[in-house]
């Protein structure tokens, strides 16, 4: 099949050695809070077929909160408060893992549970550790089943939706595609619920402002926390790492097989991949501070130079060397990078050239405030 004619073919085993498949809560659990077991068994059959065809699969499974809420009798699907969601997730996650373990096991596959917090993927050392673990699990033939560790993640440090978790995990797993299975069949030009003229966009070549404006907020089912906006953010994170992402309606049986056979959806092509470390940096969601730089420094950065202390006009935040900081030029945010200095030292030497920095620091300064290898511009 020609991938140019059939964008879904990019996700098939022949073109995609390692695929991340995200399954939304509304697919796993029906309106009454019951697991859709037959449907799930059909997903597992598809996973087994993909593996037999040489494709490695990483599953990102939502549904812990929805399942736990039913068992605990919580209102609003367990999403009335953070405490409810965390309690529901604790109860639901065991049930969810048991389900995957039994269905994958019945298909002759080994299930591996991996629960992640945002911090696990935002901290470079922990990210590399997750990447190594996922790689090892896959090389051993296991099927990693991921979810956010909702029970311990608090509101400030949560992914909050598994769409972005899937994109970030795809980066960590070195995947070549992400498929978001949900109860919508793709991106529409406008919200189809309000606009009868709305049409599905089958292929997105670039995430332009017009495309970003097509997302209209919350999850349609009210069960998950995703919605189109989080799916577009996921496409952005995956795209930065050079990984194409697709959204597809997964409600019918055998959703993977159907999608790869040319099913309806929206495929987001990825621009040429950036270097792995830069992609990790660009996909991060939190920053520890801000460096404001002058116009001359911005021009130099855009030509590929490092950020020198002399070009820094302001330092905000309490960051440590190695933390991610936002970079602001005269017209606002221009990117981010890894700080070469702790915030206090950065404040002391900002605006100064080499020798003057030595006098302030009492030792020779480092080569740069942010090295060119450790920054990405937007």
- Where on the chain is the footprint of ligand GLU (CB under 6 A)? 25, 62-66, 147-148, 150, 161-162, 224-226
User: Which of 186, 365 has the CB closer to ligand GLU?
Assistant: 186
CB of 34 to ligand GLU, least distance (A): 15
CB of 341 to ligand GLU, least distance (A): 37
User: Which of 27, 315 has the CB closer to ligand GLU?
Assistant: 27
Task: Provide CB contacts within 8 A for 247, sequence distance 6+.
Answer: 180, 182, 184, 185, 186, 187, 231, 265, 266, 268
CB of 283 to ligand GLU, least distance (A): 17
User: Which of 184, 375 has the CB closer to ligand GLU?
Assistant: 184
CB of 224 to ligand GLU, least distance (A): 3
CB of 202 to ligand GLU, least distance (A): 24
CB of 115 to ligand GLU, least distance (A): 9
CB-based closest residue to ligand GLU: 224
User: Which of 150, 345 has the CB closer to ligand GLU?
Assistant: 150
CB atoms within 10 A of CB 151: 19
Q: Are the C-beta atoms of 182 and 24 separated by less than 8 Å?
A: yes
Kind of pairing, strands 324-329 and 312-317? unpaired
Q: Are the C-beta atoms of 373 and 277 separated by less than 8 Å?
A: yes
Rounded Cα distance, 298 and 292, in Å: 10
Give 188's DSSP letter.
Answer: B
Query: Could you give the C-alpha distances from 11 to 25, 50, 234, 257, 315, in angstroms and in order?
Result: 22, 11, 16, 11, 44
Query: Could you give the C-alpha distances from 296 to 145, 329, 343, in angstroms and in order?
Result: 48, 9, 22
């Amino acid at each position: 099949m020609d991938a140019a004619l059939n964008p879904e073919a990019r996700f098939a085993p022949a073109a995609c050695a390692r695929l991340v498949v995200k399954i939304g809560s509304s697919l796993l659990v029906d309106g009454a809070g019951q697991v859709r077991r037959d449907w799930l068994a059909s997903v597992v059959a598809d996973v087994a077929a993909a593996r037999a065809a040489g494709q490695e699969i990483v599953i990102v499974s939502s549904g812990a909160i929805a399942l736990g809420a039913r068992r605990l009798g919580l209102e609003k699907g367990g999403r009335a408060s953070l405490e409810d969601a965390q309690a529901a997730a604790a109860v639901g996650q065991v049930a969810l893992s048991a389900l995957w373990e039994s269905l994958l096991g019945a298909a002759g596959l080994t299930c591996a549970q991996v629960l992640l917090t945002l911090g696990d993927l935002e901290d470079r050392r922990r990210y590399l550790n997750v990447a190594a673990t996922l790689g090892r699990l896959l090389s051993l033939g296991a099927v990693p089943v991921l979810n956010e560790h909702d029970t311990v993640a608090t509101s400030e440090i949560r992914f909050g939706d598994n769409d972005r978790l899937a994109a970030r995990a795809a980066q960590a797993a070195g995947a070549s595609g992400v498929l978001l299975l949900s109860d919508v069949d793709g991106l529409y030009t406008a919200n189809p619920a309000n606009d009868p003229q709305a049409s599905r966009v089958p292929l997105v070549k670039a995430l332009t402002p017009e495309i970003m404006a097509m997302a209209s907020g919350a999850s349609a089912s009210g069960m998950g926390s995703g919605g189109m906006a989080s799916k577009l953010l996921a496409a952005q994170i995956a795209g930065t790492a050079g990984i194409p992402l697709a959204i597809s309606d997964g409600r019918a049986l055998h959703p993977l097989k159907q999608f790869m056979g040319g099913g309806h959806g929206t495929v987001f092509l990825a621009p040429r991949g950036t270097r792995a470390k830069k992609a990790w940096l660009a996909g991060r969601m939190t920053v520890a501070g801000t460096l404001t730089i002058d116009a001359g420094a911005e021009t130099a950065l855009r030509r590929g130079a490092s950020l020198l202390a002399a070009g820094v006009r302001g330092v905000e935040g309490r960051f440590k060397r190695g933390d991610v900081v936002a970079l602001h030029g005269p017209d606002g945010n221009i990117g981010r990078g890894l700080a070469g200095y702790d915030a206090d030292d950065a404040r002391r030497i900002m605006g100064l050239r080499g020798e003057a920095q030595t006098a302030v620091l009492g030792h020779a300064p480092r080569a740069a405030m942010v090295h060119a290898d450790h920054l990405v511009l937007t």
